Amino acid sequence: MRCFTVVARKDPKALYELAPGTPGLAGVVMLHQMEGFMDAGGAGRLASEHLLDQFDHRLVASFDVDRLIDYRSRRPTMTFDKDHYDHYEDPALDLHLLTDGAGKRFLLLDGLEPDREWELFALAVRSLVEHYDISITVGMHGIPMGIPHTRPLGITAHATNPGLVDTTDQPVLDRLQVPSSAASLMEYRLGEWGHDAAGFAVHVPHYLASSLYPQAAIRLLRAVSEATGLVLPDVELRDAARRASEDIERQVQESSEVEDVVRALERQYDAFNVTDRKNLLSDNDGRMPTADELAAEFERFLADQDGPPTAP
Say whether 90 sits in a helix, a strand or coil: coil
Mean pLDDT of 147-161: 92
Q: Contact, 19 vs 59, CB < 8 A? A: yes
Mean pLDDT of 58-68: 96
Minimum mean pLDDT range among 60-69, 74-83, 262-271: 262-271
Name the pLDDT band for 270 (thresholds 50, 70, 90). Answer: confident
Mean pLDDT of 23-29: 89
Give residue 71's pLDDT.
95
Q: Report d(CA 68, CA 214) in Å as an integer.
A: 29
Minimum mean pLDDT range among 14-28, 93-107, 195-209: 14-28
Minimum mean pLDDT range among 61-65, 73-77, 221-225: 73-77
Q: Report d(CA 232, CA 15) in Å as an integer.
A: 30
**DSSP secondary structure code for residue 49 in this structure:** H
In the chain, % of residues over pLDDT 70: 82
Mean pLDDT of 124-133: 96
Residue 224 predicted with pLDDT over 60: yes
- List pLDDT tens digits, range 229-241: 999 999 999 999 9
In the chain, % of residues over pLDDT 90: 67
Mean pLDDT of 115-123: 97
Give residue 6's pLDDT.
47
Name the pLDDT band for 277 (thresholds 50, 70, 90). Answer: very low
Sheet bearing 105-112, strands edge to edge: 16-18, 57-63, 93-99, 105-112, 29-35, 136-145, 197-205, 155-159
Q: Contact, 15 vs 63, CB < 8 A? A: yes
Burial class (CB in 10 A: 0-12, 13-18, 19+), 208: buried
Residue 282 predicted with pLDDT over 60: no
Name the pLDDT band for 175 (thresholds 50, 70, 90). Answer: confident
Residue 276 predicted with pLDDT over 50: no
Mean pLDDT of 100-122: 97
Mean pLDDT of 116-138: 97
Q: Report d(CA 191, CA 164) in Å as an integer.
A: 12
Give residue 283's pLDDT.
47
Name the pLDDT band for 260 (thresholds 50, 70, 90). Answer: confident
pTM of the model: 0.84
Name the pLDDT band for 307 (thresholds 50, 70, 90). Answer: low
Q: Taking the CA of residue 294 as centre, how many other CA atoms within 13 Å lie in the half-sphere pointing to its CB?
A: 17
